[in-house]
Structure 1
C-alpha cells in the first residue's frame, strides 16, 4: 500500500510539472517567450508551435499572439486564462489538434472570471471550443470548425453547450461556425449574459443531433439587451437542431433584439421561451424550418412560449419574411405579441409576410394557442386576397376555439413606401427626419439618403427636417404596390434687400442690380430684394447718369439689408488716394480696399490706389493676407483726400516644444537649455517648455557633472517633444555606422555598427531596465510592455541616445 501511494504521488508530481502557469508578475508573454520558459510545455517544431499540456495565464499576466501562426495542441492540452489574451493575426492564426481523430483532443480555451480576451482573425479546429466565464470577451473574423463536446473536469472539453460558451459579456462578430458537435454560440438560461452576435455564418452545427439550436442564448440580465443581428443560420439535416433561441427559465430578466438574420432549414426558426423577456424580432428571413417534419415537436418560423398566467413575455414582431415552415408564428400560453398595431401608444407597422406555412395540407400562418388577445395588423398573409374572410383561414384564434384569445389582423398588409432625399445639387442626404402625419414613428434616412416604411393605401402629408436645410412639407399617395417618394431639400433662403439712393438721399428708381445671376430693378422707392441661401454674393449696381458701384453681400443665417449711394456723373468728383505700408514703411502690393457702396480697389507695387468720388462720407476696410486688417472713414468735401494706412503683420502661429531631460539616476532638475536666444531651466520633473513657430532650432543643454549636449529640433505645425539623456564621461555624438531596427519593435531589436560596446535601455524617467554587451548585436524586448523607451549605445568613447517604441 505504501508503494502504491508513493507511485501515485510521483505521478501527480509529474502531471503538475507538465503544466505551465505564468508567475503573475505583470509580464506580457508571447509564444516565443513561452517556448523559452515553459520547460517543454510550449515548443517550436519546424514551422509551428506545439502545446503539450495546459498553459495558464495568471491574473496579472498577458499573452499576445500578433502574428500568423499555427499552434498544434496535443491531446488534453489547452489554454486557461485569468489574465489578458490578445490574438490579432494579420491574416490567420490557427489553433488545431495534433490528431483530429483522437477521442481526447485538445480541450480548447477556458477563460475564467475576470479575464480580458480579444480575438481576431483566428481559427479553432477540432478542439473543445471556448468557454468564457464572467469577464470581457470579443471574437471577430474567426472560424470554428468541428469543435467537439466531451464531459469531464480533467479530460473533457472546456465548452459544453456550444463552440463558444458565454457568461457575463461577449461579442461574436463576423465569424463562421461550421459542423461543430454542439451549437455555435450559447449561454446559460439562469445567469445574465449580455451578448452581441452579429454578421456570423453558421452552418450545420449540432452534429450530435441533440435538442440544441445553433444560437442558444439565456437572459441578458436586468437592464441589458442581447443583440443577434445579421447572422446566417442554416441547418444541414440534423433534425433536432433549431435556429435561434433566447430563454429565461429561472425568472432572470433581460431583453433581446433578433434582427436581419437568415434562418433556413432548421428544426425551427426563432423561439423565445420563459419570462420575463422583452423581445424585438424584426426583418428576419425565416424559411423552410421544417426538417424534422413533425408539427407536434417543432417547425415554427417564430415561436413564443410562456406557460404561466403571470408571465411577462412581450415581443414586437416586425417586417419578417416567414415562409415554408410547418407553422408561421405560434404563441403558446401567455406571451403578448405585437405583430402590428394601429394604436399610437403601441404602434407597430407590421409588415410581416407569410407564404406556404402549413402541415397536413392546412395553412397555418398564425396559431394563437393561448388566452391572450393579440394584435397582428398590417401583415401580408399567405392568401391571394387580403380580406378578413380569406385571412381567417390561416389564423387560429377565438373563432376556432372559444378558449383562445382573439387575433386582431385587420387591416392587412401595408405596402412599402421608399423615400429618397437629396440636396439641390443631387447629393444624397443622410440623417433627414421624415415625419408622416398619422404615423407615430418618424423615419431617418441612411447614408444613401434612403428610408422606407409600410403604409396602407391612401394620401399622406409629410414633413422632412434636416439641420442646415429649409423644412420640406409635401404630400404623396401610397398605392397597392411599392411607392417611391423623392424629396429635394433646399438650403434655407433669406431676404437680401437693396435700397439705392443718390447724393441728395433721394431713392433711385430703375437702378439695375446684378446679383447671383439675377438682374433686379429698383422700384420707385429705390428698393429691390431677392431670396438667397447662406453665402457671399458679389453685386453690381448701375444706372445711366450715375457711376457704377460694385460690392459683396454676406448672407449668414438671416436677412440682410444694403443701402448703396449712386453718385451722378454730372456732380464734381475728387481724388481719394490710399497708401498702404507695413510698419517699416515698405509699400504693400495687392492690398484690397473696400469702400462701402463703391467698387473695390487694389494697391499697386507702390502700395497706392485711388478713386474719384463726389462729396460724402466714406467708410473703408483694407485687408491683405498675412496682415491684420485696418479700417476707417474719410470725408470728401470739395477737395481730394489722402489716407495713409499701416498694416501690422499677423503674428506667426506658435507650438509648444517640451524638453524632457533625464540621466541614468532619473529626471534632471536645473539643466540649462539654450534655444532661439532663450535660456530654459528644467523643473523638478526634468521638463522645460517654450513656444516656437515652425522651423529648425539648434540647442545646447548643460548641467554640472554631465557632458555638454548639442542637438537640433524641428517644429512643423504641431506641438513637439524632445528627449535629452545626459551622460557622464562620454561624448554624445553619432556612433559610426549605427543602425537600429525595427523601430517600432515587437520583440527582437537588432543593433548594427562598428566597435559596438554596450547598450542600455531606460524608462522615460531614467530608470535602467536592461543592459547588455553587444556581442550578439540583438536585444530581446518581448517581455516589455508597450510604450516609449530610451536606448543608449556606447561605442569608441561616444554615446548615442535614441527613442525606441515598443509595440
Structure 2
C-alpha cells in the first residue's frame, strides 16, 4: 500500500511539474519583470538585467504586464506567455529569446480583448505570436528564427480587427511571416516592414498570407520589402485570398518591393476591390515551373465583377508578368481614372515573353503602359508580341492596349533621385530637399481620391498641409518629371 501511495504521489508530482504556471490574481495590478520575480520566484528569476522564465505565465484580464526598461527575458523550452489583459513593451531594447536556442519556447498567445503594444523588441527562437485580439501593435521589432508553436499559420498569426504591424524586420522564421485564417476577416496595416526568407519549412505558402478582409476597412500592405530565399522553391511573396467566400478581399497593395520568391503576388476571390500601385515585382521564379507559378501578379476568380486597379508597377524577370485565370478582371490603364504606366520587361518562360496573359474570356483595358522596357519607344506590334489574348486565341478576352506609352520612362532620374520629404509621419508641416523639378502637387487619399492640389516653387523647401490623420499619396509633377511619395499625417 505504501508503495502504491508513493507511486501515486510521484505521478501527481510529475503532472504538477508539467502544468506548473503562474497566473496574476486579476486585481487590476501592473506587473514589471521584477514584480513577477517577487510574486512567483519559482516561475521567473533574475540576474542583472537578464530574467529567466521556467513556467507558463498568464496575465489576467484586468492586469498589466509592463516592460519599460531594457531587459532580456530568456524563456524555457515549451513555455507559453498568455495575455488576457494588457501587455506593454515600451523600452529602447527588449530581448525575448530561448534559454536554449535548440529548445524553443512555445510563444505568445494574445487572447481576445487583450491590449497589446510591443515596441523595439527582438523576438526569437520561440513559437510565434498568436494574435486573437483586435488591439495589437508591433513596431520596430526584429522577429527572427521562430518555429511553429502557439502560432502555426505565421510567426504573427492574426484573427480579427485591424492590427498595426509597422517598421519591423521579419526574417528566417519556420512559418510564413504574417498569416490569417481562411475564414477570419481581418484588415491589418502592414507598413514599412522588411521580410526575408520566411517559411523556412518551404511549405506552399507565401511570406505574407492573408485571408478575407473586413468589409468596411481595407487590408493595407504598403512600402514593405518581401525578399525570398531562392533555395525555397514553394514560397511565394504576398497572397490575399478568400478561398471560402467569407467576406471578400478589400486591399491596398502599394509601393512594395517583392523579389526572389516563387511568385510575386496572388489575389484569389470572387469579391475583390483592390488597388495595386507602384510596386517593384522582380525575379519571382524560384520554382522554375511556369505551369505551377512564377507570375509577378496572379489573379484568380470563378465569377466576373472584381474591381482591381493597377498602375505604376514595375514587373521584371518573372516567369509571367500578369496572369488572369477563370473569370478574373483587372484595369491596367484607361482614359478615365487609371493612368496605367505599368512597366514590363523580360517576363517569360520557354523562350517566349509574357507580359500579360489574359487566360479568361473577359475584355481588359490596359492603356498607357510600357510593354517592353528594353525596346523604347514601344509600337503596337511590340505590345501585341508580349500580350496573350483574343488575337492569339479567339476564346480569350480582348486586351485593349492602344495607346502604348513609355514616355514616362524618359524622366531625368537625377531630377528626383535626391528629392525627399520630411518629417514623415508629420502633423502637417512638410519640408523638401532638392526640389529641382516639381511645380505642382496633387494629394490623394489612400483609396485614390483627389483631396487637394498645390502649386510649388522650384527650390521651395516647406509646405503646410491641412489634412486629417491618415495615409496619403503625394504626386509631385514637373515639366518632365513625376514622382509619388507616401505621407502619414499623425
User: What range is the shorter-chain TM-score in?
Assistant: 0.7 to 0.9
Residues 1:483 and 2:473 aligned together: no
**Could you tell me which residue of structure 2 aligns to residue 339 of structure 1?**
332
Residues 1:329 and 2:315 aligned together: no
Post-superposition CA distance 1:291-325 (Å, at most 9, x none): 1111011110111111x23x543211110000010
Displacement of 1:211: 0.8
Residues 1:247 and 2:241 aligned together: yes
Residues 1:205 and 2:198 aligned together: yes
**Could you tell me which residue of structure 1 aligns to residue 95 of structure 2?**
94
Q: 2:75 aligns with which of 70, 73, 76?
A: 73
Displacement of 1:115: 0.8
**Could you tell me which residue of structure 2 aligns to residue 413 of structure 1?**
405
Which runs of structure 2 are paired with 1:712-727 in the superposition (5 Å)? none
Q: Which stretch of the first structure deviates more once superposed, 406-415 or 239-248?
A: 406-415
**Could you tell me which residue of structure 2 aligns to residue 225 of structure 1?**
218
Give the secondary structure class of the aligned counterpart of 1:337. Answer: coil
Displacement of 1:399: 1.1
Residues 1:38 and 2:30 aligned together: no
Give the secondary structure class of the aligned counterpart of 1:483. Answer: coil
Displacement of 1:12: 3.0
Describe the shift of the 1:371–1:130 C-alpha distance in structure 2 as closer, same or farther (beyond 3 A). same
Give the secondary structure class of the aligned counterpart of 1:393. Answer: helix
Residues in 1 aligned to 2:28 and 2:66: alpha-carbon distance in whole angstroms:
13
TM-score, normalization: structure 2? Answer: 0.82
The answer to whether the 8 A contact 2:241-2:249 is kept is: no
**Could you tell me which residue of structure 1 aligns to residue 166 of structure 2?**
173
**Could you tell me which residue of structure 1 aligns to residue 290 of structure 2?**
295
The answer to whether the 8 A contact 2:115-2:133 is kept is: no
Displacement of 1:335: 1.6
Residues in 1 aligned to 2:305 and 2:441: alpha-carbon distance in whole angstroms:
36
The answer to whether the 8 A contact 1:51-1:78 is kept is: no
Which runs of structure 2 are paired with 1:609-758 in the superposition (5 Å)? none
Describe the shift of the 1:431–1:163 C-alpha distance in structure 2 as closer, same or farther (beyond 3 A). farther
The answer to whether the 8 A contact 1:314-1:335 is kept is: no
Displacement of 1:427: 9.6
The answer to whether the 8 A contact 2:191-2:221 is kept is: yes
The answer to whether the 8 A contact 1:131-1:164 is kept is: yes
Describe the shift of the 1:180–1:364 C-alpha distance in structure 2 as closer, same or farther (beyond 3 A). same
Post-superposition CA distance 1:558-608 (Å, at most 9, x none): xxxxxxxxxxxxxxxxxxxxxxxxxxxxxxxxxxxxxxxxxxxxxxxxxxx
Q: 2:151 aligns with which of 144, 154, 159?
A: 159
Describe the shift of the 1:297–1:9 C-alpha distance in structure 2 as closer, same or farther (beyond 3 A). same
Residues in 1 aligned to 2:228 and 2:452: alpha-carbon distance in whole angstroms:
35
**Could you tell me which residue of structure 2 aligns to residue 350 of structure 1?**
340
Give the secondary structure class of the aligned counterpart of 2:219. Answer: strand
Describe the shift of the 1:312–1:484 C-alpha distance in structure 2 as closer, same or farther (beyond 3 A). closer
Residues in 2 aligned to 1:208 and 1:434: alpha-carbon distance in whole angstroms:
43
Describe the shift of the 1:221–1:65 C-alpha distance in structure 2 as closer, same or farther (beyond 3 A). same
- Structure 1 residues without counterparts, runs of 5 or longer: 150-156, 421-425, 451-465, 468-477, 486-807
**Could you tell me which residue of structure 2 aligns to residue 376 of structure 1?**
366
RMSD, matched Cα: 3.0
TM-score, normalization: structure 1? Answer: 0.51
Describe the shift of the 1:441–1:57 C-alpha distance in structure 2 as closer, same or farther (beyond 3 A). closer
Describe the shift of the 1:119–1:441 C-alpha distance in structure 2 as closer, same or farther (beyond 3 A). closer
**Could you tell me which residue of structure 2 aligns to residue 130 of structure 1?**
129
**Could you tell me which residue of structure 2 aligns to residue 83 of structure 1?**
85
The answer to whether the 8 A contact 1:223-1:254 is kept is: no
Displacement of 1:415: 3.3
Residues in 1 aligned to 2:147 and 2:185: alpha-carbon distance in whole angstroms:
25
Describe the shift of the 1:427–1:367 C-alpha distance in structure 2 as closer, same or farther (beyond 3 A). closer
**Could you tell me which residue of structure 1 aligns to residue 31 of structure 2?**
29
Describe the shift of the 1:63–1:280 C-alpha distance in structure 2 as closer, same or farther (beyond 3 A). same
Displacement of 1:284: 0.4
Post-superposition CA distance 1:316-345 (Å, at most 9, x none): 111000001000000111122001011x3x
**Could you tell me which residue of structure 1 aligns to residue 114 of structure 2?**
115
Q: 2:390 aligns with which of 363, 374, 398?
A: 398
Residues in 2 aligned to 1:54 and 1:447: alpha-carbon distance in whole angstroms:
59
Residues in 1 aligned to 2:189 and 2:135: alpha-carbon distance in whole angstroms:
12
Describe the shift of the 1:198–1:447 C-alpha distance in structure 2 as closer, same or farther (beyond 3 A). farther
Residues in 1 aligned to 2:105 and 2:457: alpha-carbon distance in whole angstroms:
48
Post-superposition CA distance 1:142-162 (Å, at most 9, x none): 00111001xxxxxxx111121
Q: Which stretch of the first structure deviates more once superposed, 406-415 or 329-338?
A: 406-415
Residues in 2 aligned to 1:432 and 1:246: alpha-carbon distance in whole angstroms:
32
Residues in 1 aligned to 2:440 and 2:120: alpha-carbon distance in whole angstroms:
33
Residues 1:257 and 2:274 aligned together: no
The answer to whether the 8 A contact 2:365-2:401 is kept is: yes
The answer to whether the 8 A contact 1:209-1:240 is kept is: yes
**Could you tell me which residue of structure 1 aligns to residue 428 of structure 2?**
none
- Structure 2 residues without counterparts, runs of 5 or longer: 420-433, 460-464, 467-476, 483-490
The answer to whether the 8 A contact 1:53-1:76 is kept is: no
The answer to whether the 8 A contact 2:272-2:307 is kept is: yes
Residues in 1 aligned to 2:370 and 2:481: alpha-carbon distance in whole angstroms:
20
Describe the shift of the 1:101–1:365 C-alpha distance in structure 2 as closer, same or farther (beyond 3 A). same
Post-superposition CA distance 1:631-685 (Å, at most 9, x none): xxxxxxxxxxxxxxxxxxxxxxxxxxxxxxxxxxxxxxxxxxxxxxxxxxxxxxx
**Could you tell me which residue of structure 2 aligns to residue 704 of structure 1?**
none
Kindly tell me the number of residue pairs found equivalent between the two proteins: 434
The answer to whether the 8 A contact 1:281-1:316 is kept is: yes
Give the secondary structure class of the aligned counterpart of 2:188. Answer: strand
Displacement of 1:39: 3.8
**Could you tell me which residue of structure 2 aligns to residue 282 of structure 1?**
277
Which runs of structure 2 are paired with 1:535-554 in the superposition (5 Å)? none
Residues in 1 aligned to 2:306 and 2:401: alpha-carbon distance in whole angstroms:
20
